[in-house]
Structure 1
């Protein structure tokens, strides 16, 4: 830590992340990865990055509600950003917003299990995980 209470540049910090999954027909359990949520407590950082492959989604369910899925993914990004886009979570800190987003739900967009890692750059790590696990 620097003398200002902020992590030093280049320091490794623990992060947690979950993959966002789209399950168009919950009763069938088939899913595609459509995003990641990453939280780094040391940096008070939480972010979501999404990428919806509509072709893959339609392969699982030709009648999937693409507009609704995109809206749900955008809402998750908004909660991570905080402020007016976060709705009821607007006043919550990054950790509380992350915990709320990773809570299990039986909706079309669901968080996967939480995993951990180390990073020097949570923003870049979010993009790296999106490329690795979703795109």
Structure 2
């Protein structure tokens, strides 16, 4: 049976004032399947094309925090998965941002997350 899910593309905006961005991951939440996950992939060449001086180590560390937050590490420990999704998907003006939230139906949230990564990021 397919269940509703929500997802947002994770974007790298190396120079917020310019608004240029590349997709670096996907955040997916499926309440019915108790699933919250993030997958990320940083293409260093694409990032440097937008901002040659971008700190790739800092970006990689920030992206790693998305996965840890999905798992409930740190301040997210006391939050429910839906609250964590909303926190991560909230608008922000940092180098790592979530795009608009979209919806769909899936029988396998993890496979859907991988499909979206292939379609939208890789």
Measured against the shorter chain, the TM-score band is over 0.9
C-alpha separation in 2, matches of 1:81 and 1:124: 18
In structure 2, how many angstroms separate the alpha carbons of the residues matched to 1:91 and 1:126? 24
- The equivalent of 2:120 in structure 1 is 133
Distance 1:51 1:81 in 2: 18
Shift of residue 126 of structure 1? Answer: 0.5
Whether 1:90 and 2:77 are equivalent positions in the alignment is: yes
Report the RMSD for the aligned CA atoms in angstroms: 0.6
Residue 43 of structure 1, CA deviation: 1.2
Quote how far apart the aligned CAs of 1:23 are.
0.3
Matches within 5 A, 1:1-135: 11-82=1-72, 86-135=73-122
Higher relative contact order (CA 8 A, sep 6+): 2
CA distance in 1, matches of 2:111, 2:69: 19
Count of matched residue pairs: 122
| Poorly superposed stretches of 4+, deviation over 4 Å | none
CA distance in 1, matches of 2:34, 2:79: 11
Larger radius of gyration: 1
1:43 aligns to what SS in structure 2? coil
Distance 2:119 2:60 in 1: 20
